[in-house]
Amino acid sequence: MVYVNQGGAYERDRRYLTSRITTDGKDGYPVEPDRYRLVVSRACPWANRAIIVRRLLGLEDVISMGVAGPTHDERSWTFDLDPDGRDPVLGITHLRDAYEARVPGYERGITVPAIVDVPTGQVVTNDFPQITLDLSTQWWAYHRPGAPDLYPDALRGEIDEVNQRVYTEVNNGVYRCGFAGAQEAYEESYDRLFTALDWLSERLSRQRYLVGDTITEADVRLFTTLVRFDAVYHGHFKCNRSKLTEMPVLWAYARDLFTTPGFGDTIDFDHIKRHYYVVHRDINPTGIVPAGPALDGWLTPHGREELGGRPFGDGTPPPPPPAGEAVPPLAEQGR
């Protein structure tokens, strides 16, 4: 659902279900293996964050994952990828059913990621910024051996500060460009976006990762926007001052993360392009999905190792994705 104010500026609806799954279960949802199902779409950058963090922390065996199809109607994300179009664990065809099980007549956006309480079939939360933080800080007893600390105590203040600017100017900034309803609102959003990207380029020219010398939550949040930039945001959302491939520092940084286990192996460019170009008919009335861009550049050397840093700190890379969760090889995702 797209909201545009009287000045033509896009405003994201952030009225989420904010119950949390915590070690103390204070909201009625305690950390408990095999109780919850993370529902995502590989097309969605907000859901992609949760997929990556779940992978990096090794929570696949304790939190199952349902994957909705890349397109949806006005009512809801649907489970088109599953046999008979029905999620095999929740038994539903539309994610809306889980929202309405929690709040009958639910009137807000049906968004992913959403964590569903399997015994009741009710959505616990769709508060995407908190979901990934809680996976790091509340599910620690079930992290895999060697899991990285994505939200270290000593760096939380700086991570939060960087995340706030990245969210307002970049993660949500591309949407503010794409859904702007007036020229002035679009140009303001465009200027803010590229000012922030220039700031990030300068920051990352001196250090391998956004905060500290290891991957943190901040890198996860920026990556999911960068990886979609040339395929979608540059053209579809009119973010066209520069392609990612024309911003040398950010392009190398994005390739560094893409080739890091847990990042590129969650990306499905076919799902990404089909979602944006087919669902957003107000922007792309024909529903034609572009054939490009070429994807082979993602696997070229990036040279970021020269800046030092250790991707997983004292930890280790995650193992390959579980059976059934692997994305197609990159060569099969493009022409």
pLDDT digits (tens, 9 = 90+) for 179-225: 999 999 999 999 999 999 999 999 999 999 999 999 999 999 999 99
Helix (H) or strand (E) holding 194: helix 183-204
Distance separating alpha carbons of residues 163 and 172, to the nearest angstrom? 11
Q: What is the pLDDT of residue 226?
A: 99
What CATH number matches the domain at 3-142, 3.40.50.300, 3.40.30.10, 3.40.50.1820, 3.30.413.10?
3.40.30.10
Catalytic site residue from 16, 29, 44, 277 = 44
Which DSSP string do the residues of 82-141 spell out, in sequence order?
A: SGGG--TTT--SBTHHHHHHHSTT--S---SSEEEETTTTEEEE--HHHHHHHHHHTSGG
- Please indicate whether the domains covering 3-142 and 155-332 agree at the CATH topology level: no
At 68, is the secondary structure helix, strand, or coil? strand
Q: What does the angle CA 155 – CA 158 – CA 161 come to, to the nearest 5 degrees?
A: 145
Residue 44: active-site member: yes
DSSP state at residue 212: T
pTM of the complete model: 0.97
Torsion sign, CA atoms 26, 63, 161, 44: negative
- Going by pLDDT thresholds of 50, 70 and 90, the confidence category of residue 10 is confident
What's the whole-number average pLDDT of the chain?
96
Residue 142: active-site member: no
pLDDT greater than 90 at residue 8: no
Q: Where are the domains of the chain?
A: 3-142, 155-332
Catalytic site residue from 175, 190, 209, 277 = 175
CATH class, 155-332 region: mainly alpha
